[in-house]
């Protein structure tokens, strides 16, 4: 059989492999003749018998891990889900059921190529892109992949749908329509506390410290403490809630998607679009920015890693800043003398 690659000695006595098919040269990065010939022979053998080379690779890998050759992406997904807890686990369980993964589930990891990933990404959406990255990285970290299937820089960028804060007018419009007392109190607490819907729904009476006028709880998502001082308007809402146990018994017993559905039903009836219950968290951060609330205080209230705080204090909230000229004029005015 005619060999595809030929040996050439080119620039600075470095050996090159010449591809007779593509007519291109590839540096072998060596000046030693014997080493160059071994590399050239390896390239020719790999081209002549690719199926045999894969079987040889499988034999070596199976010696290190008996399951290496048989492990499929279905097993990786199952193990990935078991590492999650709480609501993160529920989201992961739903995500791996995505139909876009069907072409990948029963494929062996060792036989997976980048085009298989691209096919999945083309048939899925943002969630598919997000979870395929995480599942792939999990397999790499666990040592189940000898090398990444697709380089990091080749993954398509993730573009999330734009989210916005709920406005005060929209909040009041929804409250005016809502007749359920518990739901109304829940929405008021979301407005004043800036917590996620699950954190607010699971508040208990013991989370309210009336002596110090503070509501404190640990965020379910991060485990970080969230501490909010109670103002007069929030105090009026809290005093009408149960004095022991859950503040919102019916809502706390619901799944988060059911609470979201109740809110979306109200939004649809009022023709309010582009918001969700999480929009209350964005609204709290943007209100804090507009009011001149120091960023460090907002971080203490919502959490130092809160995306809502970072977004609002970076560019979202519209703040009317006085001009430098006004400040210069004030500084130039003589101080008033009191008699």
pLDDT tens sequence across 285-299: 888 888 888 887 787
Q: What is the pLDDT of residue 323?
A: 56
Span 296-334, pLDDT tens digits: 778 777 776 666 666 666 655 555 545 556 656 777 776
The pLDDT tens digits for 39-52 are 888 888 777 666 55
pLDDT at 180 exceeding the cut of 90: yes
- CA–CA distance, 295 with 154 (Å, rounded to integer): 36
Tens digits of per-residue pLDDT, 70-106? 889 999 999 999 999 877 888 899 999 999 999 999 9
User: Using 50, 70 and 90 to split pLDDT, how confident is the model at 244?
Assistant: very high
The per-residue pLDDT of the chain, averaged, comes to: 84
Q: In what order do the strands lie in the sheet with 5-9?
A: 5-9, 15-19, 25-27
What is the model's pLDDT at position 186? 96
Maximum average pLDDT range among 14-28, 55-69, 254-268, 312-326: 254-268
Work out the average pLDDT over 224-228: 80
Higher pLDDT, 227 or 263: 263
Assess whether pLDDT exceeds 80 at residue 66. Answer: no
The strand pair at 25-27 and 15-19 is best described as antiparallel
């Amino acid at each position: 059989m005619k060999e595809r690659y030929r040996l050439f000695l080119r620039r600075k006595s470095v050996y090159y492999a010449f591809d007779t098919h593509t007519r291109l040269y590839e540096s072998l990065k060596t000046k030693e003749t014997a080493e160059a010939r071994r590399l050239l022979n390896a390239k020719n053998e790999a081209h002549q018998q690719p199926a045999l080379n894969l079987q040889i690779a499988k034999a070596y890998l199976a010696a290190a891990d008996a399951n290496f050759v048989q492990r499929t992406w279905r097993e990786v997904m199952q193990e990935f889900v078991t590492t999650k807890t709480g609501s993160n686990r529920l989201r992961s369980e739903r995500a791996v059921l995505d139909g876009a993964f069907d072409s990948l589930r029963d494929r062996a990891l060792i036989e997976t190529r980048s085009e298989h990933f691209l096919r999945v990404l083309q048939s899925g959406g943002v969630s598919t892109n997000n979870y395929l990255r995480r599942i792939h990285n999990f397999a790499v970290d666990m040592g189940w992949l000898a090398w990444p299937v697709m380089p990091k820089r080749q993954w398509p960028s993730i573009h999330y749908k734009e989210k916005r804060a709920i406005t005060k007018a929209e909040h009041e419009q929804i409250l005016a329509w809502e007749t359920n007392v518990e739901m109304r109190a829940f929405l008021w607490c979301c407005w004043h506390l800036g917590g996620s819907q699950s954190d607010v729904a699971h508040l208990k009476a013991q989370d309210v410290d009336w002596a110090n006028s503070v509501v404190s709880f640990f965020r379910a998502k991060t485990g970080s403490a969230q501490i909010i001082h109670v103002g007069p308007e929030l105090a009026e809402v809290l005093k009408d809630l149960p004095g022991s146990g859950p503040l919102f018994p019916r809502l706390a017993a619901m799944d988060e998607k059911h609470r979201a559905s109740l809110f979306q039903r109200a939004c649809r009836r009022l023709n309010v679009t582009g918001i969700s219950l999480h929009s209350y968290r964005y609204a709290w951060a943007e209100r804090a920015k507009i009011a001149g609330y120091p960023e460090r205080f907002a971080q203490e209230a919502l959490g130092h890693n809160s995306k809502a705080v970072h977004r609002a204090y970076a560019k979202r909230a519209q703040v009317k800043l006085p001009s430098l000229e006004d400040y210069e004029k004030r500084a130039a005015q003589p101080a008033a003398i009191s008699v």
